[in-house]
Structure 1
Amino acid sequence: MKFFLIFATILSVAFCHQFKLRNNCPFTVWPGLQGNPGKSIPMNGGFQLNSFESRSFNVEKGWQGRIWPRRDCDKYGYCQSGDCGFRIECRGNGGVPPATLAEFTLDGYGNQDYYDVSLVDGYNLPIQIKLIPGTFRKDSNSKYNCNPAGCYSDLNAICPNELAVWQNGWKVACKSACEKFNNDQYCCRGAHNQPSTCKSQYWPVNYPSIFKRACPDAYSYAYDDSTSTFTCRGNPTTGYEVIFCP
C-alpha cells in the first residue's frame, strides 16, 4: 500500500505542469495568479517577487487561468496597478485593470495547450511566456506553435493621454478602450459581439491598433485570435516560464 501511494505521488507530479515566474524588472513585482472556476489557485493567488528573483510551482493537468504583474504594493496589500483587493495572496480574486495578462488553457482540445499574452484588460508591464526546454514537442513550424508569446514594448511610453493611468507625473499603466469608454463597440458586446462586427471600422478611434503595432503577438481586443493565440503539446507535459520585463 505504501509503495502504491509513493508511486501515485510520483506519477501525479510527473504529469503536472511546472511554472517558473521570473522578475527581470529593476523593481519588485507582486505576481497575481487566478485559476478559472473549478481550477486550483497556485501559491494562494499571489506573492512578492523581488528584482531578478524567480519562483516555481506546479499546477494540475487541465489547469486554466491567468497570471499578471502587480506594481507598487504596500504593507497593507494594496497595489497601485493590478490590485486584487488589498491582499498579497489574491485567493481567487482577479486583478483590477489595467494589467497585462498571461493566459493559459492547458491540455485542451486534442490534448493541446493554448496560451497568450492579452492586453484586452489594458497594460502595466511587459510580459513574455516561454516553454521550458525538454517539456514540449512541436507539431509544426508555425510561428504560433510552441514559440514565445509576449508583449515586449513599453506601452506606457506611447499610451494616449486619455487612456493613461498617472502616478506622480508618470504613466504607470494604460487602459484598454473598453475599460475607458465602456461602449459596445470597444467591448465587443451587444451588436458587436461577433468577429465580423467587432473590428476597426466600428471603432470611433482605432486604439487597439496602437497596442497591436507595439505588441503584434498579443491580444489587442477580444477577437484578435488569429495573430495572438499560441499552441503546444507536452512531452509529456509542458512547462512554462513567465517573465516580467523580458
Structure 2
Amino acid sequence: MILRLDNPVSHFSTLKINEMFETIQGEGAHTGVPAVFVRLQGCPVGCPWCDTKHTWTLDDALVTTADNVLKKDAESETHFATDAKGLLALFEQEGYVAKHIVITGGEPCMYDLRDLTTRLHARGYTTQIETSGTYEVLCHADTWVTVSPKVEMKGGYEVLTSALQRANEIKHPVAMEKHIEELDTLLARLDDISQVQVCLQPISQQARATALAVKTCIQRNWRLSLQTHKYIGIE
C-alpha cells in the first residue's frame, strides 16, 4: 500500500515509525526539555518548506526492521511497524531516560494515539503531539497537543476547528504578514484564546521572518519559538 496526496488514509492503529531518538526538545513551550522523539511515517499535507519530506510516503516496500531504523545515520523513507506495547519495549531496550515523549511526523494524527499515550502516562511519562491540525486528534486527555496549523498547502487539507480547540499550544510558522493574518483567522474560531499558548516560529530561520515574529510576539504578548536544535546542531 502506498499513501499518496490524492489517496489519504486516516487513523491507522498500527504505528509506522521512521525515526526514534533521545534528544532535547528544540521548539515551542517545551524547549530545552529532554525528550524521546517518535517520528511517525506518512503525511499528505504537502508543506513546501517541510524538513522531513522523507516521512511523507507510506509504502509497504519501505518497511524494514526496528533495528535497522534505530541504526539509521541518515534520513530515509524506511520505517518499521509496531504497536504501543512493542514501542514501550523498545524504550527499555534502548535505555532511554527522558520522560517526555514527543510524537511527531509526518502527520502523527493520521494515527489513533489513544492506546499509546494512555500506556505512556500510566508508566509515568508525559506526552506531546506535534500536528498540522488537519486530522482529528485522538490521544490521552493529559497529552500536550501542539498544533502547527498548515493553511492552503498542496494537499488541500483544512485546519480542523476540533484540532484548534484541543490544542494546548498553537505554534504557527511565519515568513510574512499574510501568515499572521491566517493565524488571526484561525484564532477567531476559539472562544477564549487565553486558554492556549500562541507561539510564532520563523520559517527556515530567515532574518526577515525572525524580525516579523519578534515584533508580533511583543505586540501580542505571544511567545517566540526558535528551532534551537538547528542553531546548536543537534537532531
Pairwise same-fold verdict (TM > 0.5): no
TM-score by length of 2: 0.30
Answer 1 or 2: which has greater helix percent.
2
Q: Give the number of the structure whose residues are more often strand, by fraction.
A: 1
- Higher-RCO chain (CA-CA 8 Å, sequence separation at least 6): 1
Q: TM-score, normalised by structure 1?
A: 0.29
Which of these two proteins has the greater Rg computed from alpha carbons? Answer: 1
